[in-house]
Amino acid sequence: MKKTRNTKAKQVILDLITDSNSALTANEIQHSELVACDRVTTYRILDRLQEEGLIHRVVTHDSIVRFARCRTCVDETHHHQHVHFNCQSCQAVLCLENTSPTIQLPAQFTLTEVHITVSGICDRCNA
Amino acid sequence: MKKTRNTKAKQVILDLITDSNSALTANEIQHSELVACDRVTTYRILDRLQEEGLIHRVVTHDSIVRFARCRTCVDETHHHQHVHFNCQSCQAVLCLENTSPTIQLPAQFTLTEVHITVSGICDRCNA
DNA sequence: TTTTTAATGCAACTTAGTTGCAATAATATT
DNA sequence: AATATTATTGCAACTAAGTTGCATTAAAAA
């Protein structure tokens, strides 16, 4: 197991994701003024941050991949028990904590992971 | 509104998806011996079948897009009230009917669509 | 300070999906 | 049944997202 290093680019990207209200795409991260590294490096940093359990991937139904800070991760296997909300007005993707419905599976099916994405209008846009 | 035509390629692809146990990727469809049309045509047919409400897209957490026959679609807005199950053993993606948990959203959030993908082991692989 | 090796930048590549356009073939019209 | 109309197809070329190899750079350990 190799040791992870604390580089400037990595810190900047983690801060960016941490401070963001919405989950961010690799592209949004890449084009932030704060981020100066290469495109490939951005992807590699995102990979590492995931492996370290600091961020998680969110895939919405439109196939867009975003990254969000982990705040209530249950364990290192990263079975996120929260819902992702995709606002159709402001496009933000938010993690809704404390919203884990129990899924009832048919007989003989075993569950290891649940991903729930809800589309609608968020509180800000509804206000 | 233009009229839709019934072509051979379209029928073959619809049959393929209809008869498949698991949801299929565009690639799997394209490389089926039964499908003879161009790659681009396959994509366009998949688009049309969706617009006609005959099939629907399924995106799993690994960003893989698949297509499944619509069987219990509520209305033409295609708000599928069923869960998609992704077997980690045989890789199949199944539509689980009669499994629609109610999602409880925070105040001020409005819901229009829910997508649930569950990973685990399917009944066949568990047998 | 030197050594070690993780992290970076660059070029090139892959995979998924899209667009424009001329040619083809369903379907409607005569 | 023959013709006209236009949806559909194939092809070439393109975009967008993500990956890989490799030489160079820079954290962190010695």
At B105-122, the pLDDT tens digits run 999 999 999 999 999 999
pTM comes to 0.93
At B3-14, the pLDDT tens digits run 899 999 999 999
User: Is there a contact between A80 and A53 (Cβ–Cβ < 8 Å)?
Assistant: no
User: Is there a contact between A15 and A55 (Cβ–Cβ < 8 Å)?
Assistant: no
Give the model's pLDDT for residue B26.
Answer: 98
- Helix B8-19 vs helix B39-51: angle between axes, to the nearest 10 degrees? 70
- The answer to whether residue B101 scores a pLDDT higher than 90 is no
Give the model's pLDDT for residue B76.
Answer: 53
Residue bearing the bigger pLDDT, A97 or B65:
B65
The amino acid occupying position B127 is: A
User: Is there a contact between A112 and A80 (Cβ–Cβ < 8 Å)?
Assistant: no
- CB < 8 Å to A46, chain B: none
Among the listed residues B100, B72, B66, the one whose alpha carbon sits nearest the alpha carbon of residue B86: B66
Structure tokens at B113: 């669509």
When CB atoms are compared, the residue of B59, B115, B122 closest to A109 is B122
When CB atoms are compared, the residue of A65, A104, A117 closest to B99 is A104
Residue bearing the bigger pLDDT, B120 or B101:
B120
When CB atoms are compared, the residue of B65, B113, B121 closest to A119 is B113
Give me the sign of the Cα torsion angle A98, A63, B68, B87: negative
Give the model's pLDDT for residue B74.
Answer: 53
Nearest CA to CA, how far is A36 from chain B (Å)? 27
Give the model's pLDDT for residue A92.
Answer: 97
Please enumerate, as own/partner, the contacts of A44-50 that have beta carbons within 8 Å and a separation of 24 or more. Answer: A45/A7, A45/A9, A45/A10, A45/A13, A46/A13, A48/A4, A48/A10, A49/A10, A49/A13, A49/A14, A49/A17, A50/A78
| Other Cβ atoms closer than 10 A to A109 | 21
- CB < 8 Å to A103, chain B: 83, 99, 101, 116, 118
Give me the sign of the Cα torsion angle B84, B88, B91, B92: negative
Kindly give the pairing relationship between strand B83-87 and strand B110-121: parallel
With a 7 Å cutoff on the CB, does B48 touch strand C? Answer: no
Give the model's pLDDT for residue B82.
Answer: 81
The Å distance, CA of B5 to C1' of C26, is 6
The whole-angstrom separation of Cα A18 and Cα A93 is 14
Successive 10-residue mean pLDDT values, chain A, 127 residues:
88 98 97 98 98 95 96 59 91 87 90 93 95
HSE of B68 in the Cβ direction (CA atoms, 13 Å)? 25
DSSP-derived 3-state class of residue B66: strand
At B39-56, the pLDDT tens digits run 999 999 999 999 999 999
With a 7 Å cutoff on the CB, does B27 touch strand C? Answer: yes
The whole-angstrom separation of Cα A94 and Cα B107 is 14
Nearest CA to CA, how far is B16 from chain A (Å)? 23
The whole-angstrom separation of Cα B61 and Cα A12 is 26
Q: Which residues pair with A102 in a beta bridge?
A: none
The residue of A46, A59, A124 whose CB has the most chain B CBs within 10 angstroms, and thus the best one to mutate to test that interface, is A59
The amino acid occupying position B23 is: A
The rounded mean pLDDT for chain B is: 91
**Protein residue at shortest CA distance from C1' of C10:** A38
